[in-house]
Amino acid sequence: MKSYCFNFILFFQLLYLQVSGQSLMFISASPGETLVLKYNYTPSVASWFVPGFDKTKPRSVNLTDMYGQLKKWNIRKYSDNAFISNFTHTNRLQIVGNNVSREFFLKITNVTTDDAGLYRCEIIIENMGEPDHVANSFIVQLKYIANLSITYDPPKPIYEGYPLRLCCLTNNHLSNETVRWYSEKQGLQKPQKNSKKTCLPFVNVNRNDSVVYICKADHEGQTVTRTSL
Least confident segment among 5-19, 41-55, 104-118, 201-215: 5-19
> Are 125 and 171 in a shared domain?
no
> Are 121 and 202 in a shared domain?
no
Report yes or no on 9 lying in a domain: no
Report in angstroms the alpha-carbon separations of 163 from 149, 166, 181, 204, 228. Answer: 20, 10, 18, 5, 17
Phi, psi dihedral angles at 123 (to 5 degrees): -120, 140
With the CA atoms of 50, 56, 61 and 65 taken in that order, what torsion angle do they form, in degrees rounded to the nearest 10? 50
> Are 137 and 194 in a shared domain?
no
> Are 74 and 99 in a shared domain?
yes
Least confident segment among 12-16, 20-24, 97-101: 12-16
- Biggest CA pair distance of the chain: 87
Report the alpha-carbon distance of residue 173 to residue 113 in Å, rounded: 10
Instruction: Kindly state the DSSP code that residue 100 receives in the 8-state scheme.
Output: G
pLDDT in tens, 106-151: 999 999 888 889 999 999 998 777 888 999 999 998 887 778 899 9
Burial of 39 (0-12, 13-18, 19+ CB in 10 A): buried
pLDDT > 70 fraction of the chain, expressed in percent and rounded: 87
Report yes or no on 7 lying in a domain: no
State the chain's mean pLDDT as an integer. Answer: 82
pLDDT in tens, 46-67: 999 999 877 777 899 999 988 8
Full residue range of the structural domain in which residue 182 is found: 148-228
Tell me, what amino acid is at 57?
K
pLDDT in tens, 80-108: 998 887 665 568 899 999 888 899 999 99
Q: Which of 142, 160, 177 is the last residue of a domain?
A: 142
